[in-house]
Amino acid sequence: MAGRRMIFRASCALASAWLAGCSPSPGSGYFPLDKGHRWVYRSTSEWENATVERETVELTTLGEERLGDGKAWHRRSASGVDYWLRADDSGVYRVASKTDVVAEPQPDQPVRYVLKAPLAVGTSWQAATNAYLLRRNAEFPPEIRHTHAPVPMTYRIEALGEAVRTPAGDFEDCLRVRGSAVMRLFADPVAGFRDLPLSTTEWYCKGVGLVKLERSEPASHSTFLNGGTLVMELTAWQ
């Protein structure tokens, strides 16, 4: 469950699932920030050992508030994680986050872009990611993210004006963003260390925000590791 939540945190904040477009209004673009929005997602994780887990993920926007020496737009997940984001001519980016077990927001250094301007095919940026699905078969803790440092993921806007079908309905005018990274891990005694691919594809629709996310972390037939995929789809929003 924690792994799936971390995937969502990465997507809603780093890519936050991570632009208010060229408009100064945070609610008019591809990642609404203004108060009063709510998104509910169906999240399905499938591992290569045939294990399947499902979860409902929910996010709400709480409005703009003071943060440090300025203001930021506050988002909160039903799992108890808070995010603060800003939007300017460079794009939409996360500046801090907080879980229920820490007292104060933890700044992002550097900030994590969700969508970077200009909104055009080929625009790219980087943000750190971890392995949220890869697990060890016979070690504790099994989750790779607990023992390995994050790696840089390169995001790129691949398409504009796409149509996306979700349980919440059909959406037009969507951006497709793809992220790619590699993590070097010990696969098994025969193969030794391998560069394992981590990939994310996200769809952001104008006026709605993130409507779909796909994450892939294959173990490439490793005998020590178990990989998987995650699909998150919008089921309701306002």
Whole-angstrom Cα distance, residue 32 to residue 45?
26
What does 118-169 look like in DSSP terms, one character per residue? S-STT-EEEEEE--SS-EESSSSS-BGGGTS--EEEEEEEEEEEEEEEETTE
- Report the pLDDT value the prediction gives residue 190, as an integer from 0 to 100: 82
Q: Provide the pLDDT for residue 80.
A: 93
The confidence score (pLDDT) of residue 118 equals 95
Give the pairing type, strands 124-129 and 192-205: unpaired
187, 209 contact by CB (below 8 A): no
Q: Which of 226, 230, 169 is nearest to 201 (CA)?
A: 230
Taking the CA atoms of residue 175, residue 204, residue 94 and residue 54 in that order, the dihedral angle to the nearest 10 degrees is -130
Q: Determine if the peptide bond prior to 189 is cis (ω within 30°).
A: no
Question: Under CATH, to which class is 2-237 assigned?
Answer: mainly beta
- Taking the C-alpha atoms of residue 60 and residue 77, their distance in angstroms, rounded to an integer, is 7
The rounded radius of gyration (Å) of the Cα atoms in the chain is 17
- b/e code 77-114 from CB counts within 10 Å (16+ = b): bebebbbbbbbeeebbbbbbbbeeeeeebeebeebbbb
Do you find a cis peptide bond into 141, omega within 30 degrees of 0? Answer: yes
Q: Domain spans of the chain?
A: 2-237
**Which pLDDT score, from 0 to 100, does residue 138 have?**
83
Q: Identify which of 153, 221, 224 has the alpha carbon closest to the alpha carbon of residue 183.
A: 153
pLDDT per position as a tens digit, 162-221? 999 999 999 999 999 999 999 999 888 888 888 999 999 999 999 999 999 999 999 988
Give the pLDDT of residue 155.
98
Phi-psi region of 103 (alpha: psi -120 to 50; beta: other; left: phi over 0): alpha
Any idea of the CA torsion for 26, 204, 98, 86, to the nearest 10 degrees? -30
pLDDT at position 25, please?
A: 40
Q: State the alpha helices, DSSP H only, in the chain.
A: 2-9
pLDDT along the chain (238 residues), means of 10: 39 33 48 96 96 97 94 96 95 95 92 95 96 88 87 97 98 97 88 92 97 96 92 97
